[in-house]
Amino acid sequence: MKANRALRTLAVAGGLTLLALHANADGTVLCNNYDSGYGIWIVQNGVTNPAPAGTMVQVLGGPDADHLSAVTNTLGVDGYTITSGDLNAMGSGTGSFFDYSFGPVAGVTASNNAVLQVVAWYGSYIGGSAVWTQATGSDPAPSGSPPPTPTPTVLNLPGRIYMFYSGMAPIHGGVTGAAPTPVAPAPLGPGPLGPYPSGSLWLSITNNRNGTVTPTLHGTEPGYPYTLLTNTDLNSPVWTPRQVLADTSGSGQIGFDAVSTTDTAKTFFRTAIGFQGINGGDQSAYDIADTDGAVGPSNFVEIVNFKIAVYDKAGNRLTNMPTVSFFAVPGTGYPSNSPLDARVIYDQQSGRWLACGVDSLSQQIVFAYTTNSSPLPLTDGWTKKVLMLAKAGDDCDSPTLGVDTGGVYVSVLRFFRTNGVAVIDDNVIACMPKPGVYQGSNTMTVLTNTTQTANGDLPTWKVQVAVNLDSAPLGGWAWCIAKGLPQGTGTYYWPGTNYYRRIQWTGTSAS
């Protein structure tokens, strides 16, 4: 069956070559998965079925994994839309299949090796094969009578292709024809990824300090395949699958192979507009900025030691003021001095801006939130309060802000000094439930983590509660990540272990 399919494709392809009078020196491949026998599948709500009609498929190729582009056949078609007749086309339980003749691989000369990948998507469901290397064929010039026959090589797909719900735009370069009608997304669990209804997937990355990192995926479900993808250019829509593994042991985690840091993007922050923010002259008195900022619907807010400023998205500064005035809590005398280590975020789910800082004299935490989705005006568009988190004999440092559907979280590190050396005492997290936190409620649960492992606590330096934009169910988890105490001494030290913990709401109480 595979042989007949290949012969039929070549016959059609040869005819197309004559019609188009197309000749090129690029290496060529057949654009079908019949020859490999590996079908395309979709995973929805934990159920795997052949990819439905309307699924779009594209073969990508190039000289290396960082330079892949669509393989376009001799009529200019760069992809295929699966029809109902393509489902289980090689027999029951074989998946869905595609065939759009053959085409040249850009940047690869005839009969040389090319790097290839097949990607598929259906609405917000996306999948891709592992990247592989194989030899290409040729497409000689149509001269003589009869003209020479093209000799594209069979597409050696390494395995099945599974599409999963991603919530993102397709990772394709553009397929000829209209896009398919998006399907309703699968219901998600409390974790950041789907389609696993009961799962909460999260990724930890270990720096091996040898130019590689080792990713571990946690919260996996037994039997499901998981794909690790990397990208060296975040402007490119194509992510390169590096490894596909399944949780065969039922341990709830998968350890991927080490990945070279040269295979991943060097930066995750790109902008088309550059503009000057708050500078030393604006700060007036402090030479350590401790910069922070956040983006909302219409504005960018920057906050540093001593100053806060609001910009439009073109980079024009709209207003600014000293943080000691901005955080002023009416009728309290707080802050008693300029707040330091200030933080700001935008709560996308509730349409509110949040900010906090350490009162540098009292060591209490000043906290502010907006009455709507605009950070303006700074003078009276924010509600301010004091979070009494200071501890006698301790200094407060490194406050962080987190938010999810359940609440707003402010974490603070507390430390004391012994013979001039800072000693970490503990971390506290103020948990303020929604929607009360935005309605003037003072309800707050304060959780404490000491550095004493004998108490069952973790030896952490700084705790960050995740900014989670997913719709977690009532009573769902809030996730925390913490940097462990540094290892080594003097010049030779490195960051400690990353730790994770969860917070759960019961009514308006957190634990």
Percent of the chain exceeding pLDDT 70 equals 74
Residue pair 163/172 in contact (Cβ under 8 Å)? The answer is: no
Give the integer Cα–Cα distance in Å for 426 and 17.
72
The confidence score (pLDDT) of residue 203 equals 72
* CATH 2.115.10 domain span(s) along the chain: 284-510
The arrangement of strands across the sheet holding 395-403 comes to: 395-403, 407-418, 421-433, 445-450
Q: Is residue 431 over pLDDT 90?
A: yes
Element containing residue 42 per DSSP (H, E): strand 40-44
* Beta bridge mates, 397: 413
Report the distance separating Cα 306 and Cα 185, nearest Å: 45
Nearest to 189 by CA among 219, 164, 212, 213: 219
Q: CA distances (Å), 307 to each of 88, 147, 278, 335, 352, in order?
A: 63, 75, 8, 14, 20
Is the Cβ–Cβ distance between 156 and 165 less than 8 Å?
no
Average pLDDT over residues 258-271: 59
Say whether pLDDT at 489 is over 70.
no
Give CA separation, 260 vs 135, 234, 326, in Å.
Answer: 25, 17, 45
The mean pLDDT of the chain is: 77
pLDDT score of 144 more than 70: no
pLDDT for position 3 = 31
Over residues 353-362, the mean pLDDT reads 94
Report d(CA 156, CA 136) in Å as an integer. Answer: 11
Element spanning 113, H or E: strand 113-122
Q: Which of 139, 127, 121 is nearest to 81 (CA)?
A: 121
pLDDT reported for residue 235: 62
Among 44-58, 134-148, 155-169, 460-474, top mean pLDDT goes to: 44-58
pLDDT digits (tens, 9 = 90+) for 312-335: 988 899 999 999 999 999 999 999
Which residues share a beta bridge with 133?
A: 115
User: Could you tell me the two tokens for 35?
Assistant: 């020859």
Among 129-133, 239-243, 354-358, name the most confident range. 354-358
Q: Are strands 487-489 and 40-44 parallel, antiparallel or unpaired?
A: unpaired
The model's pTM: 0.52
DSSP bridge partners of 454: none
User: Rounded to whole angstroms, how far apart are CA atoms 430 and 401?
Assistant: 10
- pLDDT for 354 equals 97
pLDDT band per the 50, 70, 90 thresholds, residue 241: confident
Quick: pLDDT tens for 184-231: 233 323 323 333 333 456 677 777 778 788 888 877 766 667 777 777
Lowest mean pLDDT among 134-143, 363-372, 433-442: 134-143
Question: How many other C-beta atoms are found inside a 10 Å radius of the C-beta of residue 47?
Answer: 9
pLDDT at 255: 84
Question: How far is Cα 472 from Cα 459, in angstroms, rounded to an integer?
Answer: 28
Would the pLDDT of 154 be above 90?
yes
Q: What is the pLDDT of residue 199?
A: 40
Q: What's the length of the chain?
A: 511
d(CA 215, CA 228): 9
pLDDT bucket at 410, cuts 50 / 70 / 90 = very high
**Per-residue pLDDT tens digits for 161-177:** 888 765 433 333 333 33
Q: What CA–CA distance (Å, rounded) separates 119 from 59?
A: 7
Contact yes or no for 39/57 (Cβ under 8 A): no
Secondary structure string (H, E, C) spanning 381-420 = CEEEEEECCCCCCCEEEEEEEEECCCEEEEEEEEEEEECC
Q: Give the pLDDT confidence score for residue 418 in this predicted structure.
A: 87
Q: What sign does the CA torsion over 429, 431, 437, 441 have?
A: negative
pLDDT-derived band at 458 (thresholds 50, 70, 90) equals low
pLDDT of residue 163: 81
Look at residue 116 in the predicted model and tell me its pLDDT.
Answer: 92
Nearest to 81 by CA among 187, 216, 176, 209: 176
Residue 109 has pLDDT above 80, yes or no: yes
Name the CA dihedral angle for 246, 250, 256, 257, rounded to a multiple of 10 degrees. Answer: -100
- Return the CATH fold of 284-510: Tachylectin-2; Chain A (2.115.10)
Q: ∠94-98-100 over CA atoms, to 5°? A: 160
**CA max distance for the chain:** 96
259-260 and 212-218 as β-strands: parallel, antiparallel, unpaired?
antiparallel
pLDDT value at residue 225: 72
In 3D space, the residue among 483, 358, 481 whose CA is nearest the CA of residue 414 turns out to be 358
| Residue found under tokens 């070559």 | 17
pLDDT in the model for residue 385: 96
Residue holding tokens 């001494």?
489
Looking at residue 184, its pLDDT comes to 29
Instruction: For residue range 275-310, list pLDDT tens digits in order.
Output: 788 876 665 545 578 889 999 989 999 999 889 999
Q: What is the pLDDT of residue 353?
A: 96
CB 497 within 8 A of CB 461: no
Report the percentage of the chain scoring pLDDT > 90.
35
The amino acid that residue 374 corresponds to is S
Handedness of CA 386, 392, 398, 400 (dihedral sign): negative
More confident residue, 413 or 273: 413
Peptide bond into 335 cis (omega under 30): yes
Q: Which of 195-204, 362-371, 467-476 has the lowest mean pLDDT?
A: 195-204
Give the per-residue pLDDT at 284.
Answer: 52
Q: State the pLDDT confidence band at 461, using cuts at 50, 70 and 90.
A: confident
**Residue spans of beta strands (DSSP E) within 434-496:** 445-450, 460-465, 477-484, 487-489, 492-494
Which residues make beta-bridge pairs with 510?
A: 505
* 28 torsion bin: left (phi>0), alpha (psi -120 to 50), beta (else): beta
pLDDT-based confidence at 242, cuts 50/70/90? confident
